[in-house]
Structure 1
Amino acid sequence: MGKLQERKPACTERPRVLLLCSPCMGHLIPFVELARRLAADHGLAATLLFASATSPPSEQYLAVAAAAPDAVDLVALPVPPPDALPPGARERERAELAVASNIPRVRELARALAADAPLAALVVDMVGVRARGVAEEVGVPVYMFFTSPWMTLSLLLHLPGIDAARVGEHRDATEPIRLPGCVPIHAHDLPASMLADRSSSMYAGFVSMAKAMKQVDGILVNTTREIEPAVGDGMDGLELPVHPVGPLVWTRPAAEDRGHECMGWLDQQPRGSVVYVSFGSGGTLTWQQTAELALGLELSQCRFIWAVKRPHQSSANGAFFGTQNGEDTSLDFLPEGFMERTRGLGLVTRSWAPQTAILGHPSVGCFVTHCGWNSVLESVMNGVPMIMWPLYAEQNMNAAMMEVQVGVAVRAKVGLDRFISKEGVASAIQRAMVGEEAERMRKRASELREKSVHDLSKDGCATHALAQIANVWKCSSRK
């Protein structure tokens, strides 16, 4: 586990919540924050089990787990054997196997914890929902913590019905899917698993997971009614309580990030003048698209920080499980002369970038993002408008919602094969940084920040929602 030390549960009489997170960086970040809040604010003990899909786990993944406070007990689950994976397994299949292979270990830990102190609940993510049988065996409720927005959850909960009613492939549908309170979901914005042939194992696994999600006792969603007013609409017939408990984002002491080169550079830039560019922990661009993005940044003549990753020709999520030590760290994939021509104008970093600290800096004016939900929430919590550049999963849906419904983003114009030209990059930056449209987005982003911060305050609705759930769990543990 590298520098990360497994934290064993201390003997305690406080009711304990067992959290099981699949090996997805985008899931682990809010799981750590949820565990922290349960332990710090709601009188529960918390044990976080986190699975891994690579051996060894990436340094980035371990760093997220290690960010959990000492009050949260950490248990790293072993990686499944390499021969357990079918050739060409996709990321979701690898994540599912990492959880499924560890269910016996989860059962063993749950029984041991229940013998030591009252066990209150098992909390799983959408991939780990298949471990719900463990909760039944030890007699506790099982809740799902859904780390994507309500709009995506609503789609998944309605998917079995949509699947039964639809004729033909989802990708060929001419009419969008309409869910209560959500923007219409067009075929080209659907997750890849729904765009696959409906006869494929990829699609069948997706529908199976959607059906399993209905078999939990309740759902926590990492969102807020301020961002998604429709949370809870359309639940008739689903018979599942849904609790918006967000936005839960990665919290780190500000002092830990002050030494990073990005922060010193930002201190020297004018207020609201910098474009921050990052495609999250897993997003990757092709060599051609990376070069075009570089030329677009140069063309815009705006100051920028770019947390760049090595291109990946065949996958938009080529770093989904993180990057391994020893990977080539050169910048030979950038256009010739780019670094020299933009010296003083921009900062390119290949090291880990303290994203929450960067977004919270007054010099940052907008965020070019892949629309991963954690990045969207971090931008919202800091009042920063976005340029949406979706790559995979539900990110196209997130982009549509944040632009059309929420009003804090613009989408870069895409051409053939979803390629974005340097002119498209520069144009999107100008729209987000200069003029009336940019001013409207800044005002809306500032309003949304204030409301979201209040949601998480002592008197906020997210805090109250989590307190109510914690009380239910405490009562169940006493029984």
Structure 2
Amino acid sequence: METKITHIAVVTIPAFSHQASIVEFCKRLVHFHHNFHVTCIFTTIDSPPQATITFLQSLPPNIDYIFLPPINKQDLPKDVPLAVQIQHAVSKSLLSFHHALKSLCSSNNPLVALISDPFANETLEIAKEFNLLPYIYFPPSAMTLSLFLHLPTLHEEVSCEYKDHKGAIHIPGCLPIHGNDLPEHLDDRSSLSYELFLERSKRFSLAYGFLVNSFSAIEGERVSTLVEIGNKPVYLVGPVIQTGAIIEPKESDCMMWLENQTPKSVLYVSFGSGGTLSEEQVNELAFGLESSGQKFLWVFRAPNVSANALYLGASNDDPLQFLPDGFLERTKGQGLVVANWAPQTQILSHKSIGGFLTHCGWNSTLESIVLGVPMITWPLFAEQKMNAVLLTKGLKVALRPKFNDNGTAERKEIAEVIKELMLGEEGNEISQRIEELKYAAVAALKEDGSSTRALSQFISDIENFLRQQV
């Protein structure tokens, strides 16, 4: 008897970190459940990034993909945050998304469910039109999902700006958090960013359930609270991280450099797939790395006044020209600076790496946990400050430097935090704790692990729903 194939679609946004996470989730889904076929639908701005095209070349045969007609970046609002531009791009893509969904639903193997990125959850309204079971795949933490689900209530409970709220803000199931550590979209309640964030949060009620890129050892206690807030099933299916190398590690200069370093001696410094620092902060970080005396591998981009300026397009500038005069010569035996990009998972898994100075993007955070690398948190935007709170106050696997009133971490502070992580007693305790989480992450992904069971429960819930419809 021929096995019936269950066809689902996923839709994501024009941001590589979100695309990589949801595609890796799909790969894991079809690996454990061979009767599922997935079609990934990508909204795009200008054209698909080369990183995405390369990443998609290694898909298994039961995953297809569609690029919707690109939205011209010139047609998006100017001088607004990146998240607002992405939201407008998704809105402008809804008509072509509708056509794509209609085509897939009328195929020989019609769709039964749609899984949406949280920043594309307008598509869930279209899913209802085609009687598709609607889900949200949530790439960040369960703590951040708590914020999304609770925000409509928080909006009513707190009348002032969150950063001006006296004391900590309490979000159900979360660590107490100060308003300054909420996503920057919430900084100004009169802004378009806030309005869109609030609207998006209210649309979470359209979802039948939530698939979250986290695992029980770090956030399992939040699930029951999340279910109570949203009155929907929550599946912790992570850690979902990028596993495929875009280039062969042996071809990378930085991997060859790491081969010549002693175990756990190198601090890896990277701000994700597009994060940038101001020119002043670049100088302070450079001098802090140098004066720490510790080995470092720094993935360096040209400075920019906007922390996420490069997520929708690369700079043509040679970044190394923006380093302080003489820095490369003075640190030649101490560190290596790599322009723009490096194979992160291969670097973090190398025996020479002893620490990770990170922007706290959730993909990078999970990679560091899975590979057992202690962290220095340097959040830039989005929910990254919340992640920093979770890592430092909750899980206690990271240190966080202090920033002055101008929002700059000074060189002396940077050097001291680096030395504490790499050489200090607190750094040693952090190393022990993150080693325990590393093994917990591996256990969660085993065939009988908590995340694999959660994925199976998600599949069972879909199949039970379909049986009830017959």
TM class, shorter-length = over 0.9
TM-score, length basis structure 2: 0.94
Greater Cα offset, 277-286 or 235-244? 235-244
Q: 1:427 aligns with which of 394, 397, 416?
A: 416
1:151 and 2:140 are equivalent in the alignment: no
Change (3 A) 1:382 1:358: same
Change (3 A) 1:135 1:458: same
Q: State the distance in 2 between where 1:305 and 1:116 align.
A: 51
- Checking the alignment, whether the CA contact within 8 Å between 2:216 and 2:444 is kept in structure 1 is no
Q: State the distance in 2 between where 1:180 and 1:209 align.
A: 19
Identity %: 37
1:133 and 2:125 are equivalent in the alignment: yes
Deviation at 1:82, TM superposition (A): 4.4
Structure 1, gaps ≥5 residues long: 1-11
Report runs of 4+ in structure 1 exceeding 6 Å deviation: none
- Checking the alignment, whether the CA contact within 8 Å between 1:120 and 1:476 is kept in structure 2 is no
Q: 1:450 aligns with which of 418, 439, 450?
A: 439
The residue aligned with 1:5 is none
CA distances 1:246-286 after superposition (whole Å, capped 9, x unpaired): 11000115983232111111111100000000000121101
| AA in 2 matched with 1:446 | E
Change (3 A) 1:386 1:374: same
The residue aligned with 1:304 is 296
Q: State the distance in 2 between where 1:427 and 1:70 align.
A: 50
Structure 2, gaps ≥5 residues long: none
Change (3 A) 1:94 1:68: farther
| AA in 2 matched with 1:319 | L
Instruction: Point out which structure has higher relative CO (alpha carbons under 8 A, 6+ apart).
Output: 1
- Checking the alignment, whether the CA contact within 8 Å between 1:280 and 1:370 is kept in structure 2 is yes
The residue aligned with 1:206 is 197
- Checking the alignment, whether the CA contact within 8 Å between 2:152 and 2:202 is kept in structure 1 is yes
Q: State the distance in 1 between where 2:171 and 2:114 align.
A: 29
- Checking the alignment, whether the CA contact within 8 Å between 1:281 and 1:322 is kept in structure 2 is no
| AA in 1 matched with 2:412 | E
Deviation at 1:322, TM superposition (A): 4.2
Q: State the distance in 1 between where 2:449 and 2:248 align.
A: 27
Q: 1:244 aligns with which of 220, 224, 236?
A: 236
* 1:200-349 matched pairs, under 5 angstroms: 200-234=191-225, 235-252=227-244, 256-313=248-305, 315-323=306-314, 327-349=316-338
Q: State the distance in 1 between where 2:25 and 2:19 align.
A: 10
- Checking the alignment, whether the CA contact within 8 Å between 1:180 and 1:230 is kept in structure 2 is no
1:362 and 2:351 are equivalent in the alignment: yes
- Checking the alignment, whether the CA contact within 8 Å between 2:54 and 2:246 is kept in structure 1 is no
Greater Cα offset, 376-385 or 164-173? 164-173
Q: State the distance in 2 between where 1:283 and 1:78 align.
A: 27
CA distances 1:391-447 after superposition (whole Å, capped 9, x unpaired): 111111110110111011000121122201111111111111112211111111110
Aligned length: 463
Q: 1:461 aligns with which of 439, 450, 455?
A: 450
- Checking the alignment, whether the CA contact within 8 Å between 2:245 and 2:343 is kept in structure 1 is no
Q: What is the SS of the residue equivalent to 1:417?
A: coil
1:86 and 2:77 are equivalent in the alignment: yes
| AA in 2 matched with 1:191 | P
* 1:190-205 matched pairs, under 5 angstroms: 190-196=182-188, 198-205=189-196
Q: What is the SS of the residue equivalent to 2:304?
A: coil
Greater Cα offset, 360-369 or 225-234? 225-234
- Checking the alignment, whether the CA contact within 8 Å between 1:59 and 1:322 is kept in structure 2 is no
Q: 1:35 aligns with which of 26, 29, 32?
A: 26
Deviation at 1:137, TM superposition (A): 2.0
1:162 and 2:154 are equivalent in the alignment: yes
Q: 1:142 aligns with which of 134, 157, 165?
A: 134
The residue aligned with 2:113 is 121
